[in-house]
Chains A and B, each alone.
Chain A
Amino acid sequence: MKTDYDLMCLHDGEIDPTESRAQRANLSADPHAATKLQFMGQLGDSLRAQAAAAMEEAPTDAMWQRIAPALATPVVPMRPPLQGYLWSAAAGAALAAAATVLLMRGLTDVARSQNAAVVTPPTTAPFVMVKASPPEVESLDVPTGSGAVFTLQDEDGSAAVIWISHDESGDPL
């Protein structure tokens, strides 16, 4: 039993001619492989026919000679490739330098905080002022009506209020 790869090599003529003749002679004993090889031939013919038809539809030099004078915008030559490489390299180097500086700064802060914790432990817990952020309604699905969202805040804290209004009912809002 030949693999598909072997059959493709045989079909494309990529094996030794002597071996190719021997394999083709053995195909009579393997009708499945023979059918596959025949299908590969038909597929190749079809693809070549499609490519030839596409080439016939492509613009020819004569067509371009008629189109070019009608173009209002002059053709601008492409930028030399090296110039693009230089900009990319400069941007990459700048980003790498910035990342290195940030990384080193972060490591220094970590080391400094660890040293500080070891050398001078705080005697009292530091007072941290945390700014309270109000509740956030991330998603709301009200299948039978509509919902209004608002926040009530006072000295007791915040509350996210979700008020459901049914379509057919009275509503204090």
Chain B
Amino acid sequence: MKLLFATLWMVCGLASRAVADTSVTCTALEIRASVAASPNMPPELKALEKKLRKPPFSSWNAFALLSNTSVVAVVLKPTQLALVMGKAALLVREASAQRVAVTVTMDDESGQRVVDTKVSMALGDYVVIGRPIGNDGHLLAIRCVK
């Protein structure tokens, strides 16, 4: 019986380690950018603030966080991201100790494909997908860390 428990413990430990090695934690921030009388920058966007102050995002001064989704993405397993304005899917294709390669697809509210892109970036960096909606902007910023 002890041998059985020891074997199960080893198998579970190895399996959890394998999952940890092939997964990354990705955060998707959905942002609505607009021009307002009073500028707004939510605290959740602090890490992106300097970039949002630069063109082309500097056209707007009010940024609203529409959704904030954090997922544990396993390599080669697609993850759906529910957005307020449409939907997106994230596929981590490769993840090393320093970089991650992802495929991101985003659809608008009518289900029409907006973008399908493959990006390779350092862990902790962002990929920001933006599109105009009238005079406003709709942004999806994705960042993955180990």
Number of A-B contacts (CB under 8 A): 113
* Chain A, range 123-141, C-beta contacts under 8 Å to B: 130, 132-141
The answer to whether A138 touches B51, judged by C-beta atoms less than 8 angstroms apart, is: no
Q: How far is the CA of A133 from the CA of B101 in the complex (A)?
A: 13
What 1/0 flags go to A140-169 for Cβ under 8 Å of B?
111110010000101111111111111001
**How many residues of chain A get a CB closer than 8 Å to chain B's CBs?**
34
Interface of B is mostly: strand
Q: Is the CB of B130 within 8 A of A163?
A: yes
Given contacts A154-B51, A156-B47, whether A171 and B132 have CB atoms under 8 Å apart is yes
Stretch in B2-10, B69-77, B107-115 touching the partner = B107-115
Q: How far is the CB of A156 from chain B (nearest CB, A)?
A: 6
Query: Is the beta-carbon distance between A163 and B56 smaller than 8 angstroms?
Result: yes
* A residues whose Cβ falls under 8 Å from a Cβ of B: 130, 132-144, 147, 152, 154-166, 169-173
Could you list which residues of chain B lie within 8 angstroms of chain A, going by C-beta atoms? Answer: 47-48, 50-51, 54, 56, 59, 98-99, 101, 112-122, 124-135, 137, 141
